[in-house]
Amino acid sequence: DIQMTQSPSSLSASVGDRVTITCRASQYISNYLNWYQQKPGKAPTLLIYAASSLQSGVPSRFTGSGSQTDFTLTISSLQPEDFAVYYCQQTYTGPQTFGPGTKVDIK
């Protein structure tokens, strides 16, 4: 199975900050990489698919980039509703696998 890692595992930030989360795949996955946001007690919600395509209805402050094995999710100006856990997911081959998550909380 392809292993996904994320860094950092958690971060503290303030409203208005620019936040960057990194996701790395254990092998080549082209751009078969999706990003989800999950708030406590809720289901994940899709933010980005195909590494850089913004899901309909998701604010433009969220951007995804990367290819092959290294990917980034950037929040350009953190808003109060963005405090959550973020997961990357690969769908290139084998079982779809998720990263361990990055928790973004309030500084």
- Shortest reach from residue 82's CB to other proteins, in Å: 18
User: Taking CA 66 as the corner, what is the angle to CA 9 and CA 45, rounded to the nearest 5 degrees?
Assistant: 60
3 binds other proteins per the rule CB under 8 A: no
Question: Which of 3, 12, 27, 53 touches other proteins (CB under 8 A)?
Answer: 53
Question: Which of 11, 13, 20, 46 touches other proteins (CB under 8 A)?
Answer: 46
Distance CA 50, CA 66 (A): 10
100 binds other proteins per the rule CB under 8 A: yes
Q: Quick check: 15 and 76 in contact, CB under 8 A?
A: no
Question: Which of 28, 59, 68, 94 touches other proteins (CB under 8 A)?
Answer: 94
- Shortest reach from residue 14's CB to other proteins, in Å: 26
In the chain, beta strands by DSSP E? 4-7, 10-13, 19-25, 33-38, 45-49, 53-54, 62-67, 70-75, 84-90, 97-98, 102-106
Q: Identify the CA nearest to 35 among candidates 16, 19, 54, 18.
A: 54
User: With CB under 8 A as the contact rule, which of the stretches 12-20, 64-72, 73-81, 94-102 interacts with other proteins?
Assistant: 94-102
Residues in contact with other proteins by CB under 8 A are 1, 32, 34, 36, 42-46, 49-50, 53, 55, 87, 89, 91, 94-101
